[in-house]
Amino acid sequence: MTEIPLDYATLKILWWGLVGALLIGFAVTDGYDLGAASLLPFVAKTDKERRLVINSVGPTWEGHQVWLITGGGALFAAWPFVYAVSFSGFYLAMFVVLAALILRPVGFKYRSKRQSAAWRSGWDWALFVGGFVPALIFGVALGNVLQGVPFNLDSTLRASYDGGLFGLLNPFALLCGLASVAMLVMHGAAYLVAKLERGPVLDRAAGFGTWAGIGVLIFYAAAGVWLMVSGMGYRIVSEIDPQAVANPLRKEVVVETGAWLANYGKYPWMILAPVLGFAGTVLAILGLRKKAGWTIVASGLAAAGIIASIGASMFPFILPSTVNPNASLTVWDSASSQTTLFIMLIVTVIFLPIILIYTSWVFKVLWGRLGTEEANSAGAY
Amino acid sequence: MPDLLVADLSRWQFALTAMYHFLFVPLTLGLSMILVVMEGAYVMTGKEVWRRTTKFWMNLFGINFVLGVATGITMEFQFGTNWSYYSHYVGDVFGAPLAIEGLMAFFLEATLVGLMFFGWDKLSRPAHWMVTFFVALGSNLSALWILIANGWMQNPVGSEFNPDTMRMEVTNFMEVLFNPVAQAKFVHTVSAGYVTAAVFVLGVSAWYVLKNRHLGLAKRSMAVAASFGLLSSLSVVVLGDESGYTLTDNQKMKLAALEAMWHTEEAPAPLTLIGIPDREARETHLEVQVPWVLGLIATRSLDGEVEGILPLVAIAEDRIENGVKAYDAVARLNADPDDAEARTIFEATKRDLGYGMLLLRYTDTPSTADEETIAKAAWDTVPHVAMSFYSFRLMAGLGFLFIGVFALAFYFISLRRNVPKLFLRLAVLIIPLPWIAAELGWILAETGRQPWIIDGVLPTFLGVSSLSASQVITTMVGFTLIYGTLAVVEVSLMIKAISAGPGARLFPAGGGGSDTDELSPAAAAAPSIKFDV
């Protein structure tokens, strides 16, 4: 590799934005699939209604799931430390997520392959688990990330971890889990309101979605207040060289009350993220009450704002450590090498627009509201 | 030092989840291509029977595809969950192809696969065909990027250890991309997938012919499978040979182990056809050898040498001694990055750092290791010889069998147009064999690489996460239960779909044509293949 035209610090920041964009892409696209699956047993009562909900996301959920898979790959490539420490640290929680995510494709594809009512109801619950459990655990995981997780790094940078599955289930994390479920259920309901023909399923979705939206406002605000008063937050106190090679052990970090809110004073534009989170949710609630198709845009913006607000609050931290704050992973010391970040940037700049083009084309082909009859035709799931 | 029990359990878990995942991948790779061929026939001829044929196989493709996707997610996350130190150590190099796979291939495949199933009535014929083509292209490109990642584990080119970050970093990405091991593995693996699908299509169609059902679909499918299978079974062996040739330069120990060749033979080396490798005695009993052949295959010459296991162990001993110096230099650089003397030593010995780390199995301080420990660690570089030896022979034998089957199929179907009943039965019986061959191929590739997780760079036991054995056992039991259940469900749905045949229930009403496609005018006009039943 000859001269790399972007300096290391710039690449690190760009990748912070790109990983965030991939997470937001996942929440905005697959998020409504997860939400719709969580709503499945409640908004759809008969077999025909359930196939209506399932087939509303049937042709597209598989592509959406790739946001998660590519997000995982990007984490591995751009922030190998974060990938290694978080995935092994959340070991059993990760297993539960994987088990739920395995059920989802199979549930979609296999449910209607047999007529038996027991078979179909079994897969309906599998789809519910496949939607609800990841929504809950992703929120719980983010709640833990905000508090810091108990890991340490030895001199060879091997990570060790003292905490199990139940350590993750603390009150703040559970609050974040609820916020996440409410957000995705609201988003899923907004999608059903936009995609389905008028009828009982759409009415029920609008009803559940409204309550979920109110839940988002309450849980998201409560989490914000909790952050403010609880003393959550970490700050780097040593000199930091943004161009330095990735070694998380070469800095000093303190736990500091309110540090997670300090960025909004330092970079006032970051306030846009939580504002978008609240405003999008309020708009989505209004839209759901009117059963308007544009609600999906509002709930998507809400999801983007809420996720961006977590990233903005924590910057430059990515994964703080409670047992050894100095070992915390940050944007400056957890990234891949300059070469890898640059190559991956080029690949992303080329392929992300292509992905957006063919995804839009697929949506264009499938444009239009889905009715019970079409959703129950032989070509559907 | 990491827990060796956790390392072993994690290896079992990886083997379990990877081998399960690879039950679905080969059929996806090959069947997606066959769908492109069949739908192409539909688009070109406009004959309804080709549309029904394509949709029938597409239904089976779908049942198989979802499990490939579902189990693939586990694979991607497992590096982080169970192989955390590995992920840190090589993420800079290994993560990139994985991420590119997502961006370049999997997005394409997964975004369009929904439209492939749901878009029959929403798209024009050529547009739908294009969608099917992109699904196939996406699947095959996925395999390319995954095998570039895996190939780097076998032959870690284009990268270097950085003592400041304690990990491998990319020095030349082009070398990672055009790694000869990765390229050879890609073409070999993909053509093995094509063979799998061709055997599957041939066997299922033969079963229909034996039952005298859906003959219009069956004979067309057999014709496609016979020609596709003949080409791919020939390439899988030719390209497998290429794969073996790359071992000569890059993985000498794996080559020696799969030949159970203990001593370096005089050039050109003989090929051992059969034998019983004995690791304790360090020799192979009851060998039957063919002179010259191994030398020709492995070095493409009469005077090139193929090194044996014992001389390679002696080389490993030297490299371990050198690696200890590198290991100590890294520790000094960790304490003081400005230690110039340590950096000089590191630069001179860094190629052998991984070998020094082999000693960590026996001691926390490699520099204190005695001669005997070093000899033991050097002997650890020998993989399980018997497993490599037998799995290679069985895999290669099956490869030649497929060539024979498809040559016959091609002869009967395309030239003589008269297929004997015995052959049809054989075609049904061999359906499971390509899966066995593919799994054996992976066993050879991955156990043949041991004790390395990255050949010569990082020993496998060091790659694991800091977990307890009970945690790993919990997830292993969980995966076994889920995967076991899904395997039963999948096979039962496949059998149900095959015995139902291309029935009306699978297709939207009003698609034209009757269920009994063998009686339709289109079928009657098809090439007249006779079946000797």
The 3-state secondary structure of B106-128 reads HHHHHHHHHHHHHCCCCCCHHHH
pLDDT digits (tens, 9 = 90+) for A68-78: 999 999 999 99
Chain B residue numbers touching A345 (CB-CB < 8 A): none
Report which DSSP code applies to B412: I
The SS3 call for residue B532 is strand
Going from the C-alpha of B32 to that of each of B43, B99, B216, B402, B431, the distances in angstroms are 16, 23, 21, 20, 18
pLDDT at residue number A115: 86
Whether residue B142 is predicted with pLDDT greater than 70 in this model: the reply is yes
The SS3 call for residue B401 is helix
pLDDT at residue number B524: 41
pLDDT at residue number A167: 79
- Please indicate whether, in this complex, the C-beta atoms of A76 and B79 are within 8 angstroms of each other: yes
Chain B residue numbers touching A108 (CB-CB < 8 A): 66
B493 touching A (Cβ < 8 Å): yes
Measured over the CA atoms of residue A341, residue A344, residue A345 and residue A346, the dihedral's sign is positive
pLDDT at residue number B1: 67
Structure tokens at B504: 């009306």
- Average pLDDT (B419-424) is 90
Structure tokens at B513: 């044509």
Confidence at B86, pLDDT banded by 50, 70, 90: very high
A·B CB contacts under 8 A: 264
Confidence at B424, pLDDT banded by 50, 70, 90: very high
Whether residue B528 is predicted with pLDDT greater than 70 in this model: the reply is no
**Mean pLDDT score of chain A:** 92
Angstroms from A325 CA to nearest CA on chain B: 19
State the Cα–Cα distance between residues A373 and B59, nearest whole angstrom: 21
Whether residue B523 is predicted with pLDDT greater than 70 in this model: the reply is no
pLDDT at residue number B308: 86
- Please indicate whether, in this complex, the C-beta atoms of A105 and B69 are within 8 angstroms of each other: yes
Count other C-beta atoms under 10 Å from residue A206's C-beta: 21
Chain A residue numbers touching B104 (CB-CB < 8 A): 347, 351
**Mean pLDDT score of chain B:** 88
- A8-43 vs A171-195: helix crossing angle, rounded to 10: 70
Start-to-end CA span in chain B (Å): 66
- Average pLDDT (A115-137) is 93
pTM for this model (two decimals): 0.91
Q: Is B196:B434 a contact under the CB 8 Å cutoff?
A: yes
Confidence at B260, pLDDT banded by 50, 70, 90: confident
Domain residues of chain B, as ranges?
A: 10-159+177-253+383-506, 265-306, 309-379
- By Cβ distance, the residue of B2, B100, B118 closest to A380 is B118
State the Cα–Cα distance between residues B380 and A304, nearest whole angstrom: 51
Q: Which of residues 319-348 of B touch A (CB under 8 A)?
A: 331, 334-335
Chain A residue numbers touching B498 (CB-CB < 8 A): none
Angstroms from B462 CA to nearest CA on chain A: 10
B210 touching A (Cβ < 8 Å): no
- Please indicate whether, in this complex, the C-beta atoms of A159 and B88 are within 8 angstroms of each other: yes
Determine the residue among A64, A106, A152 to mutate to test chain B binding: the one whose Cβ has the most chain B Cβ atoms within 10 Å. A106
The residue in chain B having the minimum alpha-carbon distance to the alpha carbon of residue A353 is B103
The SS3 call for residue A171 is helix
The closest alpha carbon to A101, from B486, B67, B76, B70, belongs to: B70
- Average pLDDT (B397-420) is 88
User: At A324, which amino acid appears?
Assistant: N
The residue in chain A having the minimum alpha-carbon distance to the alpha carbon of residue B114 is A59
Q: Element (H or E) spanning B417, and its range? A: none
The closest alpha carbon to B89, from B156, B178, B16, B12, belongs to: B156
State the Cα–Cα distance between residues B294 and B301, nearest whole angstrom: 10
pLDDT at residue number B530: 63
pLDDT digits (tens, 9 = 90+) for B184-228: 889 999 999 999 999 999 999 999 999 989 988 998 999 999 999
The residue in chain A having the minimum alpha-carbon distance to the alpha carbon of residue B81 is A88
Whether residue B512 is predicted with pLDDT greater than 50 in this model: the reply is no
Domain residues of chain A, as ranges?
A: 8-373
Chain A residue numbers touching B465 (CB-CB < 8 A): 84, 88, 91, 159
- Please indicate whether, in this complex, the C-beta atoms of A106 and B331 are within 8 angstroms of each other: no
The closest alpha carbon to A379, from B16, B282, B117, B467, belongs to: B117
B118 touching A (Cβ < 8 Å): yes
Chain B residue numbers touching A348 (CB-CB < 8 A): 103
Q: Is B349:B329 a contact under the CB 8 Å cutoff?
A: yes
- By Cβ distance, the residue of B66, B111, B119 closest to A109 is B66
Whether residue B439 is predicted with pLDDT greater than 80 in this model: the reply is yes
pLDDT digits (tens, 9 = 90+) for A140-169: 999 999 999 999 998 889 888 887 677 788
pLDDT at residue number B125: 94
Angstroms from B506 CA to nearest CA on chain A: 6
Confidence at A3, pLDDT banded by 50, 70, 90: confident
- Average pLDDT (B412-437) is 90
Q: Burial letters for B508-526: b for 16+ Cβ neighbours within 10 Å, e otherwise?
A: eeeeebeeebbebebbeeb
The residue in chain A having the minimum alpha-carbon distance to the alpha carbon of residue B470 is A92
Going from the C-alpha of A261 to that of each of A229, B18, B440, the distances in angstroms are 11, 44, 56
Whether residue B509 is predicted with pLDDT greater than 50 in this model: the reply is no
The residue in chain A having the minimum alpha-carbon distance to the alpha carbon of residue B337 is A250
- Please indicate whether, in this complex, the C-beta atoms of B164 and A245 are within 8 angstroms of each other: yes
Angstroms from A95 CA to nearest CA on chain B: 7
Alpha helices by DSSP H, listed for chain A, are 8-43, 47-57, 61-78, 80-89, 91-110, 117-147, 171-195, 200-230, 259-266, 272-290, 295-314, 338-365, 372-375
Count other C-beta atoms under 10 Å from residue A172's C-beta: 18
Whether residue B71 is predicted with pLDDT greater than 70 in this model: the reply is yes
- Average pLDDT (B403-425) is 88
User: At B56, which amino acid appears?
Assistant: F
Determine the residue among A18, A66, A111, A116 to mutate to test chain B binding: the one whose Cβ has the most chain B Cβ atoms within 10 Å. A66
Chain B residue numbers touching A158 (CB-CB < 8 A): 2, 85, 88, 466
Angstroms from B114 CA to nearest CA on chain A: 4
B478 touching A (Cβ < 8 Å): yes
State the Cα–Cα distance between residues A145 and A320, nearest whole angstrom: 7
Q: Which of A173-187, B10-24, B331-345 has the lowest mean pLDDT?
A: B331-345
Chain B residue numbers touching A379 (CB-CB < 8 A): 117-118, 120-121, 507-508
- Please indicate whether, in this complex, the C-beta atoms of B87 and A83 are within 8 angstroms of each other: yes
User: In chain B, what percentage of residues exceed pLDDT 90?
Assistant: 66
Q: Element (H or E) spanning B287, and its range? A: strand B283-290
User: In chain A, what percentage of residues exceed pLDDT 70?
Assistant: 99
Would you call B301 exposed, middle or buried from its count of C-beta atoms within 10 A (0-12, 13-18, 19+)?
exposed
Whether residue B165 is predicted with pLDDT greater than 70 in this model: the reply is yes
Chain B residue numbers touching A321 (CB-CB < 8 A): none
- Please indicate whether, in this complex, the C-beta atoms of A359 and B77 are within 8 angstroms of each other: no
B494 touching A (Cβ < 8 Å): no
Chain A residue numbers touching B167 (CB-CB < 8 A): 80, 157
B80 touching A (Cβ < 8 Å): yes
Angstroms from A335 CA to nearest CA on chain B: 9
- Please indicate whether, in this complex, the C-beta atoms of B111 and A102 are within 8 angstroms of each other: no
- A80-89 vs A61-78: helix crossing angle, rounded to 10: 110
Going from the C-alpha of B482 to that of each of A263, A288, B78, B492, the distances in angstroms are 44, 38, 16, 16
B92 touching A (Cβ < 8 Å): yes
Chain A residue numbers touching B80 (CB-CB < 8 A): 72, 76, 83-84, 86-88, 94
State the Cα–Cα distance between residues B435 and B438, nearest whole angstrom: 5
Q: How many CA atoms lie within 13 A of B246 on its CB side?
A: 21
pLDDT at residue number B505: 46
- Please indicate whether, in this complex, the C-beta atoms of B99 and A74 are within 8 angstroms of each other: yes
- Please indicate whether, in this complex, the C-beta atoms of B92 and A247 are within 8 angstroms of each other: no
Determine the residue among B6, B28, B77 to mutate to test chain A binding: the one whose Cβ has the most chain A Cβ atoms within 10 Å. B77
**Cis peptide bond prior to B451, omega within 30° of 0:** yes
Chain B residue numbers touching A61 (CB-CB < 8 A): 114
Q: Is A110:B487 a contact under the CB 8 Å cutoff?
A: no
pLDDT at residue number A2: 62
B363 touching A (Cβ < 8 Å): no
Q: Which of A288-302, B299-313, B357-371, B500-514 has the lowest mean pLDDT?
A: B500-514
B466 touching A (Cβ < 8 Å): yes
pLDDT digits (tens, 9 = 90+) for B459-478: 999 999 998 899 999 999 99
- Average pLDDT (A340-368) is 94
Angstroms from B101 CA to nearest CA on chain A: 8
Structure tokens at B491: 């096979």
pLDDT at residue number B508: 38
